[in-house]
Chains A and B, each alone.
Chain A
Amino acid sequence: MHTSFHQLIQEQSSLVEAVLELEMQARGRGKNSPILPCSPMAAHPPALLLPAGRSRGAIISQYYNRTARLRRRSSRPPLQQLCHTARPSLRQYDLETDPARATLEDKRSLLVKELLSLSPSQRSHMLLTVPLSLAEKRSLSPQGCRGLWYRLLSLLPAAKPWHYALKQIGGRFGSSVLSYFLFLKTLLMFNIISFLILLVFVVALQAAYPPASTSPQSFTGLELLTGAGYFTHSLLYYGYYSNDTLNDPCASRPNDSACPLAAPPFPYNMPLAYVFSVGVSFLVTCVLLVYSLSCSFRESYRVGSSAGDLAIKVFCAWDFKVIQRRSVKLQCENICTQLKELLADQQSRSRSLSLCQRLGHFAVLLLAWALSLSTVLGCVLAVHYFSEHMHAVSQEAILLVLPFMVSLLNMLMPHLYNLLATREKQDSPVAQVYVAICRNLILKMVVLGLLCYQWLSRRVVCSTEECWETCVGQDLYRFVVMDFIFTLLDTFFRELVWRLILENKLKRKQKPEFDIAQNVLELIYGQTLTWLGVLFAPLLPAVQTLKLLLLFYIKKTSLMKNCQSPSKPWQASHMSTVFITLLFFPSFLGAAIFLSYTIWSVQPSETCGPFQGLENIYESGKTWVQVLEKSNPNITWFVWVHQHLVENTFLLFFVSGVLLAVIYFNIQVVRGQQRIICLLKEQIANEGQDKIYLIQKLHSVYGQRERCT
C-alpha cells in the first residue's frame, strides 16, 4: 500500500486515542464531550475523516485557495503527478487542513487580503462568483471594487427593449419559444447596425446632393409591393447613386486643369464610399456573428458522453422562467411524460432490432429523403420555367408572380416535410426536428441559389433593362415584401384558423403549438434576402428592420391568443446554437460569396449607378489607389501593402494554412482533454474506494482499541 496511506492511518489512530481519552474524562466528569457529541463518536469514529460540509468556513477556505492559486498562477497540477499518485490533494497547501487558521475570522481576513492583492477585474469577478450571502460579501468587499469602466457603463441608460414582453412570453411558454424571439432581436440588431452604417456614409450624403435626374413618376399604392414606378429613381436603389465625387467644386472642370478655388470644401468620393460601406457593414456583421457563434458554442457544446439523460432531466428540465399557473401545470405533465418515456426507453434499449426491422427502417428513411429531394428538384424546375415565361409579359403587377410563387412553395413544402418526418420513426424527437430543418433548409438554399444565378447571368431576368442593378434590387425588394406577407398569412392560417377549427369543428381542447423551427428558418430566409440585396438596394436593411419590428408584435399577439406551450422536450440552448450556426454558415457566407463575386467579376451597367463604365466594381478601389499614389508620394507603403497583400493570392493560401493549423491544434487539445477527463473520473472512483477501505480499516483499529481497554 502507498506509504502516505499508512501514515494517515497512524495519524488518525493516534487522534482516535486522544479523543477517546478526552471522552473518558468527560464521562468521568459527567457531562458531554466538548469536541463531539457522544453517539456519533461511539458509532462512527472515522467521522473525522469525512470531508467537512459546505459550511461558511469551508467556502471561505476554498475561495482562499482558489484566489491564492490565481495569484500564483498555478491553476492545474502537472500531468505526471496525476498518473503517479491517487492523492494530489495531499500535495497542495490547503487552508482547510491548516491547523493554525482555525477560526472563521482568521479565514475571512486572509481572504480579504488575498482579494486586495488581485487586479480589480479579477477581484470583482471573484467577489461575484463566491457563493456567500450578500451580507457576507459586503463585509468582504474592499471599497471600490468594480472598475471605473463598469461604473460608466452602468450609467448608460440600460436599454432593455421588450423586457416585459419577453418576460411575459417566457413566463407562459418557457425558454424554447423565447429563443425564437431572442433570435429575432439579434437579427434586428444586425439590421440596425447595417442600416446605420449605410445611412451615415452613403444614403444621407446622396440625399443631400440629389442628382439631376428624370422627373419621377406619380405615386400609386402598388409601389409599396413592387418597388417599381415611383421608387425606381429614388434612394432605395443602386441606380440613383452618382458615380463622381460629391461636393467637389472642380467636378465640372476637366481633370487636368488646376482648380483655382483656395479652400476646397470636403469632397466625397461616392463610388468608393458605396463599396466601402457595403464591405464594412458585411465585415461588422461577420465579426458580430462569429462572436455570438463562439459564445453560443462555448455554452452548449460539451466534451464527453451523452449518458446521464435522466439525471439531467430531473435537475435541469424545470424551467424556472415559467410562472403562469396553467403553463406550470403543463410543464409538470410534460416532465412526467418525459420521465416515463426515458424509463421505458432505457428498459427497451436492451432489445435490439432484428435485421428485417432495420432494413425496413432504412428503406423508409431512403424513401423519405428521395421524396424530399425530388420535391426540391421539382420546385427548382418550376421556378426556372416560370421565370423564363413570365418575362414575356411586361405588365407591372406580373412582376409579383415569381416572388409569390417562391414564397408559396416555401410555405407549403415544410408542412410536407413535417408530415414525412412524423411518418418515419426517428430515434429521438430531436432528430425528427433536425431532419425537418435540414430538408427545409435545402429547399430554400437551392431556390435562392437558382435565383442568384439568374440575377447574375441575366439571361432571363432583367435582360432588357439598361440599369440591371436597379432591376435586381427591385426583384429583391419584391421578394422581401412578399416574404413578409406570406409570413403573416402563415401565422394567420397556421395559428388562428387552425385554433378555430380545433375548437369549433373538432371540439378538441388543444390549441396549436408554435412551430419554432419553421419560424426561425423563415427569419433566416428573410435575412439572407436582405444580405443578398444590400449592394443593389442600400435601404433594404431599413425595410427588413421595419419588417422585423412588425413581426415581433404580430407573432407575440398571435402566440398569446392562439398557441399553447410546447409539449415536446426542446433543448433551448442547443437549438439557439443551431440557429445561429445556420444563420452564419449557409446564409451569411452564401451572401458574402455572392457579394464578392459581384464585386470582383461582374460588369456594372454603363449608364447608371456609382460604377458606370468600369470593368468591375473592384476597379474603383484600384483606381483610387493609383490616384493616391500619384497625388501623395509619401504613402507608397500603402500602395505596396495593397499590391502585395490584398492583390496577391499567396496571402490567402497562407492565411488558410494558418487557420487549418489552428483548427488541427484545437482538435488535438480537445482530444487531450477528453483523455484527462477519463483519467480523472477513474481517479475519483478510486478515491471513493480508498475512502471506504480507510473507513473499514479505522473501524478495525477502533475495535482493537476497545478490545484492548
Chain B
Amino acid sequence: MGNKQTVFTPEQLDAYQDCTFFTRKEILRLFYRYRDLAPQLVPLDYTDKPDVTLPYELIGSMPELKDNPFRQRIAEVFSENGDGNMTLDDFLDMFSVLSEMAPRDLKAYYAFKIYDFNNDDYICKSDLEKTVNKLTRNELTPEEVSLVCEKVIYEADVDNDGKLSLEDFQHMIIRAPDFLSTFHIRI
C-alpha cells in the first residue's frame, strides 16, 4: 500500500484523512511544510503526539500568508487559544477549510469569525471599519469608511439589530457565488 512514511501511525493518518479534505499525500506534504517553518522545533516523529506549537510569527511568514492583510485574524481564528500560535492540527484545519473542497457553509462560518475582530459573535460597525481599512490599506477617508459600513449593515442586516450575526452573514454569502473561489488558498 506504499505505507513507507514514519511520521504518523496509520490510525493518525486515517483520522486526519477523515477530518480534513486532504488525501494522505497532501497531509504529509503539509506536515513537511509545517516542519520547514521551524525544523528544530518540530520532530519528524508524530506517533507519540508531541505537543508542539509554532508561534504566530513563523506562521505569518509563510509565503501564502505573509502579504495577506487578514493573516493575523486567520491565525487567531484557527489556533486553539486564539493567540495565533498553531499546532499541527490547527495548521491542517486552517488549510483544509481554505482548500477548494470545503463547502460554502463551513467557509462562511470561519470567514465570519475572521471578520469578527472583537470575538463577540457579531460583526458590528467597528469590526466592519477595521475590515474596510485592511482591505483598502487606509486609502479611504474616514467619512467614506463610515458610509460604506453603514450601507453594508443596511444591506446585510436582516433582523434589524444594527449588527451582522452569523445568519445574516451566511444569507449574504449565499448570494455571492464568487465567495467559494476567493476564500481559497492553494497550498
- A interface residue numbers (CB < 8 A to B): 53-54, 124, 127-129, 131, 133-135, 137-138, 141, 143-146, 154-155, 158, 163, 166-167, 170-171, 175, 299-302, 304-312, 314-321, 323-325, 328-329, 332-333, 335-336, 339-340, 343, 346, 571-574, 681, 684-685, 687-689, 691-692
Contacts and interface: CB of A to CB of B under 8 A. Distances in A.
Nearest to B161: A688
6 contacts: A133-B90, A135-B80, A154-B24, A316-B183, A318-B69, A688-B160
B140 A339 contact: yes
Given A332-B139, A571-B178, A685-B160, 4 more contacts: A141-B19, A167-B186, A323-B65, A332-B136
A449 B67 CA distance: 50
A311 B153 CA distance: 8
Contacts of B136: 332, 335-336, 339
Contact of B155 (A124, A143, A308, A320): A308
A335 B135 contact: yes
A128 B176 contact: no
B175 A304 contact: yes
A321 B139 contact: no
A314 B111 CA distance: 12
Contacts of A310: 148, 151-152, 155
B155 A299 contact: no
Contact of A316 (B69, B120, B178): B178
A314 B148 contact: yes
A615 B24 CA distance: 58
Contact of B148 (A129, A299, A339, A689): A339
Given A572-B181, A689-B160, A129 B139 contact: no
Interface in B140-169: 140, 144, 147-148, 151-152, 155-156, 158-161, 166-167, 169
Contacts of A318: 69-70, 135, 182
B32 interface: no
Contacts of A312: 172, 175-176, 178
B7 interface: no
Contact of B176 (A54, A155, A305, A316): A316
Nearest to A170: B186
Given A134-B20, A310-B151, A324 B67 contact: yes
Interface in B76-125: 78, 80, 87, 89-90, 92-93, 96, 98, 103, 105-106, 109-111, 113, 115, 120-121
A141 B66 CA distance: 33
Interface in B4-24: 11, 14-21, 23-24
A146 B22 CA distance: 12
Interface of B: 1-2, 11, 14-21, 23-26, 63-70, 78, 80, 87, 89-90, 92-93, 96, 98, 103, 105-106, 109-111, 113, 115, 120-121, 128, 131-132, 135-137, 139-140, 144, 147-148, 151-152, 155-156, 158-161, 166-167, 169, 172-186
Contacts of A166: 186
A168 to B, nearest CB: 9
B94 to A, nearest CB: 9
Given A319-B182, A320-B185, A133 B18 contact: no
A323 B64 contact: yes
A500 to B, nearest CB: 29
B177 A571 contact: yes
Q: What is the interface of chain B mostly: helix, strand, loop, or mixed?
A: helix
A307 B17 contact: no
Given A144-B14, A170-B186, A573-B180, A325 B67 contact: yes
A315 B159 contact: no
A575 B67 CA distance: 27
A571 B93 CA distance: 28
Contacts of B121: 53-54
B51 to A, nearest CB: 11
B132 A339 contact: yes
B67 A685 contact: no
Contact of B137 (A133, A324, A332): A332
A307 B186 CA distance: 31
A299 B135 contact: no
Contacts of B180: 299, 573
A171 B139 CA distance: 23
A163 B25 CA distance: 14
A687 B135 contact: no
Contact of B159 (A302, A320, A688): A688
Given A317-B135, A336-B140, A311 B172 contact: yes
Nearest to A577: B177
B106 A299 contact: no
A573 B115 contact: no
B173 A320 contact: no
B24 A321 contact: no
Nearest to B105: A129
Most buried by B among A307, A336, A685: A336
B139 to A, nearest CB: 5
A312 to B, nearest CB: 4
A311 B185 contact: no
A134 B93 contact: yes
Contacts of B179: 315-316
A138 B15 contact: yes
B89 A314 contact: no
A296 to B, nearest CB: 10
A146 B177 contact: no
Nearest to B147: A343
Contact of B186 (A141, A309, A321, A685): A321
A428 to B, nearest CB: 15
Contact of B18 (A124, A171, A324, A574): A124
Contacts of B181: 175, 319, 572-573
A302 B172 CA distance: 11
Contact of B178 (A155, A314, A572): A572
A574 B135 CA distance: 23
B158 A685 contact: yes
B148 A315 contact: no
Nearest to A309: B155
B134 to A, nearest CB: 9
Nearest to A569: B178
A336 B139 contact: yes
A230 B135 CA distance: 61
A685 B171 CA distance: 14
Nearest to A573: B177
Given A137-B19, A175-B182, A574-B178, A328 B68 contact: yes
A127 B144 contact: no
Contact of B172 (A308, A324, A689): A308
Contact of A131 (B109, B147, B148): B109
Contact of B144 (A144, A155, A343): A343
A307 to B, nearest CB: 6
Given A310-B155, A317-B135, A323-B67, A133 B80 contact: yes
Given A129-B105, A144-B14, A336-B136, A299 B177 contact: yes
A676 B100 CA distance: 31
A321 B182 contact: yes
B20 A320 contact: no
B68 A307 contact: no
A320 B132 CA distance: 15
B120 A53 contact: yes
A315 B115 contact: yes
Contacts of A307: 155
By Cβ-Cβ distance, the 7 closest A-B pairs, closest first, are: A688-B159, A300-B177, A134-B93, A53-B121, A336-B136, A134-B89, A145-B18
